[in-house]
């Protein structure tokens, strides 16, 4: 491995509950050139309880590919994110991202998914613009199925 970072955190006051504490442990691994992998674990006394997360990204010339898998104890059964970005030139790039969440909750009974398409433009140093459209499929909200939103 080229590089390994260990991240440890003690978190307090998640979800406005100061008497509950959480611990975060993560390892960021640069396995080979242009491939980054992060493995993380967060314990919580509320909300999702224990969360295990795996994130990976790979850069190949003008392409960036990324994926993430999240597994939790409560409410969320698992989540998945797949993303790709293509750099058209040094100022303009486009991104496509797919998200999926499977719930383990009596309140949120239906799985949700979305597809996001975005254009990113670097106007000048430290100033960028982003335009995106998102297609949602969320049976947990009335009227949300096949809803489109533009940001």
CB 81 within 8 A of CB 95: no
Q: Which residue has the higher pLDDT, 117 or 12?
A: 117
Distance, CA of 141 to CA of 12 (rounded, Å): 31
Q: What is the pLDDT of residues 27-86, one digit of tens each?
A: 999 988 899 999 998 887 655 578 888 999 999 999 999 999 988 777 777 889 999 999
Q: Residue length, the chain?
A: 151
User: At residue 143, does pLDDT exceed 70?
Assistant: no
Q: Tokens 């898998």 sit at which residue?
A: 69
Listed in sequence order, the DSSP H helices in the chain are none
């Amino acid at each position: 491995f080229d590089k390994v970072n260990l991240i440890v955190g003690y978190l307090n006051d998640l979800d406005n509950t100061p008497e509950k504490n959480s611990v975060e442990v993560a390892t960021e691994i640069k396995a080979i050139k242009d491939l980054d992998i992060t493995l993380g674990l967060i314990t919580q006394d509320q909300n999702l309880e224990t969360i295990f997360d795996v994130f990976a990204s790979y850069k190949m010339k003008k392409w960036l590919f990324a994926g993430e898998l999240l597994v939790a104890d409560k409410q969320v059964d698992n989540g998945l994110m797949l993303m790709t970005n293509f750099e058209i030139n040094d100022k303009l790039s486009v991104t496509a991202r797919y998200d999926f969440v499977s719930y383990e909750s009596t309140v949120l009974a239906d799985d949700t998914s979305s597809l996001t398409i975005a254009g990113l433009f670097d106007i000048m140093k430290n100033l960028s613009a982003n335009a995106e459209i998102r297609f949602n499929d969320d049976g947990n909200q009335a009227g949300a199925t096949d809803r489109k939103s533009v940001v």
